[in-house]
Amino acid sequence: MPGPSYLAFDLGASSCRAVLGELRNGVMHLRDVHRFETPILDRQGHLAWDLAALEAETRAAFELAVADSPGLRSLSFDSWAVDYVPAGAGGEPLRDPFCYRDGRTEGVMNRAFATVPADEIFAETGIQFLPFNTLWQAIADVRDGTGPGALHLSMADWFNHRFGGEPVFERSMASATQMLSARTGLWAGFLARFGIDAARWPRVVPSGTVIGSVPWRPAVRVVAGCSHDTAAAVAAVPASGDAPWAFVSSGTWSLLGAELSAPDLSDEARDAGFTNEAGLDGTTRFLRNLTGLWTLQECVREWNEAGTPVAWPDLVRAAEASGPAEGTIDLEHPRFTPRGGMQARLETAIRDAGLPLPTTRGALARLVLESIADSYRRALLSLDRLTGRRSEVLHLVGGGSRNALLCRLAADACGIPVIAGPEEASALGNLLVQARTMGDLPEGASVRETAAVSSALVRYEPTRRS
């Protein structure tokens, strides 16, 4: 007999997926309904997300899901953070949302500190200073008049609204804007000093809030689950026991951190580049944003567009065959943030590090993967120092968990076991939060425990211990 089913829309900066989840005997079974590349527009020198194309794809996916599972209970969207849709009084989008890699926020953050000092912003929000954060985008809107709007919604919250939900900002997503007070859970008071009207940003709701029903399918509830994809992924980390653990959500970005009971708003956390984002059930995701697989994804895109394509699995196999790299580079350098010219950027960084240039794509990929693993090592050392504990295992979730080479390199670099999986952590976390919200999880079972029994996990032991 089929169990209750739910639909997760997991919107990523590179690709999007609609995933059906069916809960049977305490296990969430996932199956893809639809996948598509995230449509991006490059118009007049600006990068923006193609909102109409995204809506068309997600509406089509919803109809496929209903046809596949007529008893669908609920749906929920999760997405990357920081970007948002400004809407008019009638609810219509005023423009396509700018992409966080668009150059319009260049220099905004540093100039803004003359109005509100950095230490005051961090002490209120606890969020890492990244030049594309929502705060700096909103200041750029005020400066340029590019969509002050009557209402602003994150990408995930916008689509929850378009499918019938109340226009709200879910807390895990709101916390990542650098505009929400970590102390009060309300929009920060300093926003007015930047000319930002907090009344134009909707109320914040807890993760796992039913916010409406789909108008043309009223039996399907709309849930504001964990709108931030990393929050959804961390909810699905299959950790157990009392041993201290850390996580890394690995994809276009890598986000490495630990789950805490309260934010760390100290100067030490700020100076180390850590951020405090809201997690499920009042927890704090204390983490660092790291570059992740972005540089390699960009190289693959450029090679494909140049007519010399390479498949991702072939590139990873070539990286494995190339043997150890002769060194690593700092992938957190700002030079790797923009889109375009990525191979040239990597080669410049390799020269600057005094390393020989790789002679094959496989060797370049190996150097990048080793550099990602080294960024994990450095971030983990900082995490353990700030939390005053020693992490004993690293849970690597998301798309990067499919990359056995990266997992082995991470275990060796960090000197602790790496547990890889679930691969679709954001989608699984999204689905499990929906199931709990709808009252369908088995009695006494937590989201995390259900994630563990619903996932195929692989353990990688380090060849040397730290």
Please list the active-site residues. Answer: 229
Q: Cα 455 from chain centroid?
A: 20
User: Can the peptide bond before residue 422 be classed as cis, meaning omega within 30 degrees of 0?
Assistant: yes
The whole-angstrom separation of Cα 433 and Cα 440 is: 10
Q: How many CA atoms lie within 13 A of 466 on its CB side?
A: 18
Closest to 366 (Cα-Cα) out of 317, 422, 306: 317
The whole-angstrom separation of Cα 3 and Cα 393 is: 34
Q: Cα 332 from chain centroid?
A: 17
The whole-angstrom separation of Cα 77 and Cα 84 is: 14
Q: Is the four-CA dihedral 96, 100, 102, 108 of positive or negative sign? A: positive
Helix (H, G, I), strand (E, B) or coil at 50: coil
Alpha-carbon distance values, 104 to 77, 97, 155, 207 (Å): 27, 12, 19, 31
Q: What are the tokens at 70?
A: 């007529």
The whole-angstrom separation of Cα 451 and Cα 425 is: 9
The whole-angstrom separation of Cα 294 and Cα 342 is: 9
Q: What are the tokens at 140?
A: 């750029």
- Phi/psi of residue 273, each to 5°? 80, 25
The whole-angstrom separation of Cα 209 and Cα 212 is: 9
The whole-angstrom separation of Cα 204 and Cα 171 is: 6
* DSSP state string for 284-301: EEEEEEE-TTHHHHHHHH
Q: Is the four-CA dihedral 159, 160, 165, 171 of positive or negative sign? A: negative
* DSSP state string for 129-148: --TTSHHHHHHHHHHHTS--
In total, the chain counts a number of residues equal to 466
Alpha helices in 88-212 (DSSP H): 108-112, 118-125, 134-144, 155-162, 171-175
